[in-house]
């Protein structure tokens, strides 16, 4: 069974992430989409909320599992007996950062965790969770960036936060 993990913050999941999830799910028997529980960031959605959102957004893809992790990706992957991480590349600006993480993970895991990159489909290349949050915080239209139910949840969050990021 070929299994892979797609790690990320997913705060929130965008159509760009979902495009990567759909395409990666066709390459592996099981794709585990795993939300990083990063104590250093102050996310819009809690890890539990992000997991729930991802489960809803991927409910029609049977070989996708949604999970969360803390700490190093290599330890999480080893514990799950997964040897491939999937990441999306939008543009050259992503490349340097992603290359560094991929090489670090390969070195730290002594070759046990490799990274496969999927180039984001062109229509989603401009998308990032950060810009989607910024647009939503000012009441902008994010209907082309995230599924409708995510846009509604974001609207709710920003209403409660009085529009502050
Ligand atoms: O969606 P993001 O925030 O770009 O995802 C980054 C992520 C979660 C893939 C990366 O930060 C990560 O794997 N963090 C876990 C900690 C870790 O393993 N760091 C070592 C690589 S330098």
Q: Identify whether 110 is part of a domain.
A: yes
> Alpha-carbon distance 80 to 13, whole Å?
23
Tens digit of each residue's pLDDT (9 = 90 or more) over 18-55: 999 999 999 999 999 999 998 777 899 999 999 999 99
pLDDT for the residue 165: 53
Please list the residues that pair with 83 across neighbouring strands: none
Q: Which of 17, 50, 87, 133 is catalytic?
A: 17
Q: Identify whether 164 is part of a domain.
A: no
pLDDT for the residue 163: 46
The structural domain count of the chain equals 1
Tens digit of each residue's pLDDT (9 = 90 or more) over 47-100: 999 999 999 999 999 999 999 999 999 999 999 999 999 999 998 888 999 999
Q: Which two tokens stand for residue 92?
A: 């050259």
pTM of the full structure:
0.95
Q: Say how many Å lie between the CA of residue 8 and the centre of ligand 1.
A: 6
Is 83 a residue of the active site?
no
Q: Identify whether 47 is part of a domain.
A: yes
Q: Identify whether 129 is part of a domain.
A: no
Q: Identify whether 89 is part of a domain.
A: yes
Q: Identify whether 157 is part of a domain.
A: no
Closest CA to 139 of 105, 103, 165, 163: 163
- Which CATH number fits the domain that encloses residue 84? 3.40.50.620
How many degrees, rounded to 5, is the angle at CA 69 between CA 87 and CA 136? 65
Gap between the terminal Cα atoms of the chain: 42
Is 55 a residue of the active site?
no
Residue having the nearest C-alpha atom to atom 20 of ligand 1 = 72
Q: Say how many Å lie between the CA of residue 72 and the centre of ligand 1.
A: 8
Q: Identify whether 15 is part of a domain.
A: yes
Give the domain extent around 11: 3-122
* Band of residue 162 on the pLDDT scale cut at 50, 70, 90: low
Q: Identify whether 79 is part of a domain.
A: yes
pLDDT for the residue 161: 75
């Amino acid at each position: 069974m070929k299994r892979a993990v797609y790690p990320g913050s997913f705060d929130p999941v965008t159509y760009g992430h979902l495009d990567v999830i759909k395409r990666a799910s066709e390459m592996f028997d099981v794709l585990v989409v795993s939300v990083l529980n990063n104590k250093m960031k102050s996310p819009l959605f809690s890890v539990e909320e992000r997991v729930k959102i991802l489960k809803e957004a991927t409910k029609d893809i049977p070989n996708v599992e949604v999970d969360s992790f803390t700490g190093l990706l290599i330890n999480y992957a080893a514990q799950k007996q997964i040897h491939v991480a999937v990441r999306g590349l939008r543009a050259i600006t992503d490349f340097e950062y992603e290359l560094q993480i991929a090489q670090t993970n390969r070195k730290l895991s002594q070759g046990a965790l490799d990274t496969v990159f999927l180039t984001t489909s062109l229509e989603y290349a401009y998308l990032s969770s950060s810009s989607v949050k910024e647009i939503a915080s000012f009441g902008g239209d994010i209907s082309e960036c995230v599924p409708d139910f995510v846009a509604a949840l974001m609207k709710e969050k920003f209403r409660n936060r009085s529009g502050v990021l």
